[in-house]
Amino acid sequence: MLRKLYDWVFSLARHRHATRSLAVVAFAESSVFPIPPDVMLAPMVLARPDRAYFYAMVCTVASVLGGLLGYAIGYFLEPVGLSILAFLGKADTFETSKALFQQHGAWVILIKGLTPIPFKLVTIASGIFQFNLALFIALCVLTRGARFFLVAFVLRRWGPPMLAIVEKRLALFTVLFLVVLVGAFFMVKLIGH
């Protein structure tokens, strides 16, 4: 079923209303939909490299707005949020996630927003744990913008050969990026002391 949904979203990228569809998918992925907008963003950028950053902006804005819906689900409709997390197989990690959010909530949002992990987990949990809304929005803009603009840049600059390399070694690239991000965090901490 997930493969059919993936293929359907990929086919939307070739439709004449692709930009609108991209916005809808990016919005929904941040709150309830299981397929990331990258599935549409990549072929759209490859087809129209001159609009790469426009598509990245559409993804970013729609994803942040969808993130606000996810936050609202967690904040105002906690039982619904918990049901969604249970459906995604994450209800059993609730207490661990709560402790993690209380200690390192900003880092959770930043790191998870850059990875292929469904962003809705972060947005709904942020609402349930009542994470600071202004900081949540700022972090969503930063992390989602970085992710989508990086995809647009890479595909615009190096095109299909680079996409094949990244897709083949996605886990490696994600780990390398996280190592750099964590290293930067500790460097800032050391410089601050």
Q: Which tens digit of pLDDT belongs to each residue from 139-166?
A: 999 999 999 999 899 889 887 776 666 6
What single DSSP character describes residue 169? T
Alpha-carbon distance of 151 to 163, in angstroms, equals 9
Q: Are 64 and 141 in contact (CB under 8 A)?
A: yes
In terms of Cα–Cα distance, which of 167, 173, 65, 168 is closest to 119? 65
Average pLDDT value for the chain = 81
Q: Is the pLDDT of residue 84 over 70?
A: yes
- Give the Cβ contact number of residue 76 at 10 Å: 10
Mean pLDDT of 10-17: 74
53/51 Cα distance (integer angstroms):
6
The pLDDT score that the predictor gives to residue 193 is 47
How much helix, strand and coil, in percent to the nearest 5, is found in the chain? Answer: 85, 0, 15
Backbone angles phi, psi at 173, to 5 degrees: -65, -40
